[in-house]
Amino acid sequence: MGALSADALVASVGSAQEFKNGRQMAAWLGLVPSQHSTGGVTRLGPISCRGDAYVRTLLIQGARSSLQRAKAVSVEKSTPEQMWIRSLACRLPFGKVLVAIANKHARQLWALLAHDVDYDPTAFTRHPMQRRSNPAT
């Protein structure tokens, strides 16, 4: 994420601790599907596109760059996130891939801002779900 995008996000969001979790911030930015529920049946609709259009546009452009980079890097040198992006690109249409990547980036940014930590590309290895699915570590 570039300096311009970071400044715009911090100026728009303010304190990330106002959001309970990363999904709430992504929803506030308009990067999650709209939800229609009735009678216990939940239906997900199109991306809501609510919230700050400028920050959402910057996140989508960053996602476009991440997708391009993930496709350019060889599989042996890919990070886990780049491998996830590559698998997503094989399964979903281009627009949905961009929104999914932007959503993931928004959630990562929430975690960085809310917990006041620096970015760590290996942080996923310490997540409880990762440890459960990979018993070798």
Q: How many domains does the chain have?
A: 1
Asked whether residue 63 is domain-assigned, the answer is yes
Please write the tens of the pLDDT for every residue from 56-110: 999 999 999 999 999 999 999 988 889 999 999 999 999 999 999 999 999 988 9
List C-alpha distances in Å: 32 to 2, 25, 35, 99: 23, 10, 9, 8
Please report, as a single letter, which amino acid is at residue 57: T
Asked whether residue 132 is domain-assigned, the answer is no
Asked whether residue 29 is domain-assigned, the answer is yes
Asked whether residue 135 is domain-assigned, the answer is no
List C-alpha distances in Å: 3 to 6, 12, 14, 62, 111: 5, 14, 16, 12, 18
Residue 61: what pLDDT? 94
Asked whether residue 1 is domain-assigned, the answer is no
Asked whether residue 130 is domain-assigned, the answer is no
Asked whether residue 38 is domain-assigned, the answer is yes
Residue 43: what pLDDT? 81
For residue 43, list its beta bridge partners: 36
pTM for the whole structure: 0.82
Q: Domain of 88?
A: 9-125
